[in-house]
Amino acid sequence: MSETSNTVEFELVSPEKLLISEAVEMVVVPGAEGDFGVLPGHSLLISTVRPGVINIHEGGAIKNSIFVAGGFAEVSPERCTVLAEEAIPVADITINGAEKRLESARAAIADLAEDAEDLSRVHAEKELKAAEAMMVAAKSD
């Protein structure tokens, strides 16, 4: 059995750049319907990604954790590609920074008028979900 058959290529792409491109044993992605693990030979899948943490596994343990604010994932038997709206290593997130983002998101929703545009409300609610997920990630590190 070759080394490549024991790994899956994982790519994490943000709007700015390719953040990660490496062979991994397993990656766990926060999908819209729940977390899903990707191992070599995974079935084809396209999923939205909810705000949460992507965990990269190596040697039976989590090697790296990255917070993502949402996006899309495409999975094939050989590859898992995540196109993230925003990606930050969990180790770089501080409780203080996450609290400020959460306060700002809550204030933005509170400031919306009753008749605010649907798009404004959707954006504000999306930011609140990302801020809440970032706070969970900050506390878990």
79 with 99, same domain: the answer is: no
In the numeric block, which tokens belong to residue 116?
């605010």
- Total domain count, the chain: 2
78 with 109, same domain: the answer is: no
Instruction: Write out the residue range of the structural domain in which residue 82 sits.
Output: 3-90
* Full DSSP string of 4-49: GGG-EEEEEE-SS-EEEEEEESEEEEEETTEEEEE-TTPPPEEEEE
Report the CATH number that the domain containing residue 10 is assigned in CATH: 2.60.15.10
Output the pLDDT for position 115: 64
In the numeric block, which tokens belong to residue 65?
């954790």
In this prediction the pTM is 0.87
66 with 115, same domain: the answer is: no
47 with 100, same domain: the answer is: no
- Bridge partner list, 22: 10
- Of 5 and 107, which is predicted with more confidence? 107
76 with 97, same domain: the answer is: no
Residue 2 has pLDDT above 60, yes or no: no
Q: What is the pLDDT of residues 23-74, one digit of tens each?
A: 999 999 999 999 999 999 999 999 999 999 999 999 989 999 999 999 999 9
56 with 99, same domain: the answer is: no
103 with 73, same domain: the answer is: no
83 with 22, same domain: the answer is: yes
Residue 90 has pLDDT above 50, yes or no: yes
Sequence-ordered list of residues with C-beta below 8 angstroms from that of 62, at least 6 positions apart, any chain: 55, 56
30 with 85, same domain: the answer is: yes
